[in-house]
Structure 1
Amino acid sequence: MALLRFLLVAPVLVAVAPASGQQGSGLSGFNSNAPVDVEADRIEVQDRADRAIFSGNVVARQGNMTMSAARLTVAYTDTRGVDVQRLEASGGVMLRTPSETARGSFALYDVNRRIVTMTGGVQLTQGQNRVQGGRLVLDLNSHRAVMDGGGSSGRVSGRFTVPQRQGGSSSNN
C-alpha cells in the first residue's frame, strides 16, 4: 500500500506491481502484522456491535503507514480478545507512507485481506508526481495499486516529472 510508483500508463487505469525490495516504495517494508494504534478526541465503544467509533482529529498508525481522518470506525471480533477486522475512515482522509501520500473522502482498510480502498476525489502524490481519480485500491500483499477514473470525465489523470537534461534544448529537432 507499493502505494504507487509513478509510471506513464493508460489514461484510464494505473496499475503497478513493484518488487518488494525496490527503492522508492513507501510500502516495501510495510508490516501489516504490526499493531494498529489509534488516537482521537473521542471514542465511542459499541460493544454489542463489536465496533469502536473514533472522532475528531483521528490518527491511526500501523507500521510505517499513517491514516488520518475526521472519523474512524474500527470493526473487531471479540472471541479471544479484540481482533481488528476493518477500519472505515471518512472526512478528509489522508493515507501517508514515508514517500507517498493519498487523499480522498473515504477509505476502507480490510485488515484480513490487507487491502485499502479509497474513494471520493482521490489524489495520490509521490514527490512532484501526482495522479487523480475516483477510486484507489491498494493491495498490501502484492504491493499493487490500481487507480480508477472519476469526476466528470470518468478518467484517471496525472502529471509526472521527467529527468532534466543539462545543456539540452527544449525543441525536438
Structure 2
Amino acid sequence: MLSLGALGAAGLLYAGADAQVLKNHDSNAPVNFTADRIEVQDRADRVVVSGNVEVTQAGMTLNAARMTVAYRNQPGGGTGPGGVEIDRIDASGNVVVRKADQTAKGNVAIYDLNSRLITMLGNVSLTQGSNRLTGGRLVIDLTSGRSTVDGRAAGGGGPGVSGSGSGGRVSGTFTVPQRKD
C-alpha cells in the first residue's frame, strides 16, 4: 500500500496551499448531474443515470458511462416539502474524478457521501501535473485530502482482481525539481 499523504515531500502532492485539492471537500454541497437517460426508481430510493453521465459538486466532477444514486427522502420542515438526501453514488464505465489539477481514473467508483470517501477499483490511476500513480484500488478521503493506492483491486486479490496488470503492485512516476548547482 502506498499512501500519498506520506509522499507530499516526494513530489506528488506539492507544497503550498493547494497541495491537497480534495482536502475538506464539501460533501454537503448540491449535487448536479447531466446524462443521456435517467430512470427514477422511487420504491428503491434510487436513480439510475446513463450515457455520458457528469456529476458536479463543489468544484469536483465525476464522469462515467453509468451511475446509480442512492438517496433518502427527508420530511418537510413544517411549511414546505421535504427534500432528497444523497447517500451514495456508484459509478461504472471509464470513471473519472477531477478537481483542479488532480485526476483519478478507474473502472468503477463508489462515492459514499456520508463517510466522505471515494473508492475506485480496477486499473486506477491518480495524476497531478506530470506525477502519476497506478494500481488496483484508490481510496480518496475527502476530509483529509489523503489518497491511498493499493496494488490489488480488492484487499486479498484473486483471479481477475488485479487492477493494473502489474501483478498487484503500485507503480508511479514523480517529477524531481531541477536543482541549481
Report the TM-score when normalising by structure 2.
0.79
The Cα of 1:79 is off from its aligned counterpart by 3.5
Q: How does 1:133-144 map to 2 (within 5 A)?
A: 133-144=135-146
Give the CA deviation at 1:100.
Answer: 0.3
Residue of structure 1 aligned with 2:71, choices 76, 83, 91: 76
Q: CA deviation at 1:38?
A: 0.8
In structure 1, C-alpha distance between the alignment counterparts of 2:167 and 2:51, rounded to whole Å: 33
Task: Name the SS of the counterpart of 2:127 in structure 1.
Answer: strand
The aligned counterpart of 2:2 is: 13
Give 1:2-151 correspondences, 5 Å limit: 12-16=1-5, 22-28=17-23, 30-80=25-75, 81-150=83-152, 151=165
- Percent identity over paired residues: 55
Q: Aligned-pair distance for 1:29?
A: 5.7
Secondary structure of 2:25's counterpart equals: coil
Deviation at 1:140, TM superposition (A): 1.0
Partner residue, 2:78: none
User: Structure 1 residue 23: deviation in Å?
Assistant: 2.7
**TM-score calculated relative to the size of structure 1:** 0.83
Matched residue, 1:5: none
- Runs of 4+ aligned residues of structure 1 deviating over 4 Å after TM superposition are none
Distance between the aligned counterparts of 2:22 and 2:131, measured in 1?
A: 17
Distance 1:15 1:126 in 2: 11
**Matched residues in 1 for 2:18 and 2:40: separation?**
40
Any conservation in 2 of the 1:22–1:28 contact (CA below 8 Å)?
no
Cα RMSD over matched residues? Answer: 1.7
Q: How far apart in 1 are the matches of 2:144 and 2:23?
A: 10
SS at 2:22's partner residue? coil
Shift of 1:142: 2.0
Higher mean alpha-carbon deviation, 133-142 vs 88-97, is at 133-142
SS of the aligned residue for 1:48 comes to helix
Count the aligned residue pairs. Answer: 154
- Whether contact under 8 Å (1:65, 1:96) holds in the other structure is yes
SS in 1 for 2:96: strand
After TM superposition, give the deviation of residue 118 of structure 1 in Å: 0.3
**5+ long unaligned stretches in structure 2:** 9-15, 76-82, 153-164
- Structure with bigger RCO (C-alpha 8 Å, 6+ apart): 1
Which consecutive unaligned segments of at least 5 residues does structure 1 have? 1-11, 169-173
